[in-house]
Amino acid sequence: MIAYSRPFWPLFLHVLGAMALVGAILAVGLVSWFAWRRPDLAVLRRTAWTSLVAVALPSYLVMRLAGQWIYSKEGFSGKNDPTWLGVGFGVADMGLLILLVMIGVAFWWRRGAKPAAGRIVAILSSVYLVLLAIAWLAMSGKWG
């Protein structure tokens, strides 16, 4: 019922971007954890990097821009904002840093086939999934 009172397109794009981002990061995590045990499969390294660049980064941009669009439409000013907004912005900002590091390490992994790079991508994708789950819980439960 709360979503019904919100602007449709910004909320729709925000949720769509967030769902696609979670799916892309989950795919990267699964591929990199599997490729960790099978370093001979170069297709998995390429899949992880391509998923990050072609799906995760555009999804992040859609999610973040639509979230900012909702923020401005709802009239929030930055003073006395609800806790769930702070959690969402914090995870989004920290997530961009993690996403960019993951893209760089995945590129290094794709080019050099270093097992350490695959482990870093697997661990970072897992950490990012946990952060996205926290943001999802905060935004759906409207903490504070």
Q: Give me the pLDDT at residue 5, please.
A: 64
The tokens for 1 are 């019922």
| Unique residue bearing structure tokens 């999934």 | 129
Task: Read off the tokens for 134.
Answer: 């926290």
How many angstroms separate the CA atoms of 38 and 44, rounded? 9
Q: What is the pTM of this model?
A: 0.90
Q: Which two tokens stand for residue 48?
A: 């992880």
pLDDT score recorded for residue 144:
62
Question: pLDDT averaged over consecutive 10-residue blocks of the chain (144 residues)?
Answer: 71 95 97 86 91 98 95 84 90 97 96 90 97 94 71
Radius of gyration of the chain (CA): 17
Q: Given this model, what pLDDT does residue 123 score?
A: 97
pLDDT of residue 19: 97
Helix (DSSP H) and strand (DSSP E) numbers for the chain: 5, 0
Domains in the chain with CATH codes:
7-141 (1.20.120)
Q: What single string gives the DSSP state of each residue in 82-140?
A: -HHHHHHHHHHHHHHHHHHHHHHHHHHHHHH--HHHHHHHHHHHHHHHHHHHHHHHHHH
Residue 132 in tokens: 């996205």
Residue 78 per-residue DSSP state: S
What is residue 89's predicted lDDT score, i.e. its pLDDT?
Answer: 93
